[in-house]
Amino acid sequence: MLRIVVCVSGGGTNLQAILDGVETGKITNTEVIAVISNNAKAGALERAKARNIPGIVLSPKKYSDREAYNQAFTEKMKELEPDLVVLAGFLVKIPPQMVSAFSGRIVNIHPSLIPSFCGVGYYGLKVHEKVLERGVKVTGATVHFVNDGMDEGPIIAQKAVCVEEEDTPEILQRRVMEQAEWILLPKAIDDIANDRIRIVGNRVCSVAGGNGK
């Protein structure tokens, strides 16, 4: 059974996709053991509470400096002992010590086709605003493993989404969620849980059959 901790800063729509996936069997051999947020008012915490999943608030504002926060965050994650950490709309950079401690066991969902519209400053609605400003015709989402860089880890999967002429950032954000994010992230978790993919060095490899599936 893959034990996962989901980290999220906002409403938690990707968290909900994960919870629904576990409930309906789209995600197998997986248990969400905790939800961590840097925002005490995050809707994701209510989603966790509704499923009797522990919700933990760890805000940088409550610590003397970022190093103190990074240490506390890392220690809490080590205490929880997850097999996989899932960043599902988490707007805090993962501390280097956590990346090291959970190497190859942290995944992130990003709302663009990496390497486009990613890196410092590209998060949430800002990504879709930049997509529309640039005038590209296709965007999408990417699930990737996390390393020390910003959106630079090995890519697990991507899915393209068309940009329409009348799109606003909000409309495009919703379409990318529905057509890409809520599909890619549950599938990636299920693939990891059933040993169908694994990270080798800086590459993601598919494993035929996985755990007999």
Per-residue CA distances from 182 to 109, 126, 132, 199 (Å): 10, 19, 21, 22
Half-sphere exposure in the Cβ direction for 128 (13 Å, CA): 20
Backbone angles phi, psi at 168, to 5 degrees: -105, 165
Per-residue CA distances from 201 to 8, 102, 103, 133, 191 (Å): 27, 14, 10, 36, 18
Nearest alpha carbon to residue 76 among 10, 5, 9, 12: 5
- Altogether, the residues listed in the chain come to a count of 213
Q: Which residues are catalytic?
A: 110
CB 161 within 8 A of CB 139: yes
SS3 24: helix
| Separation between Cα atoms, residue 118 and residue 95, nearest integer Å | 18
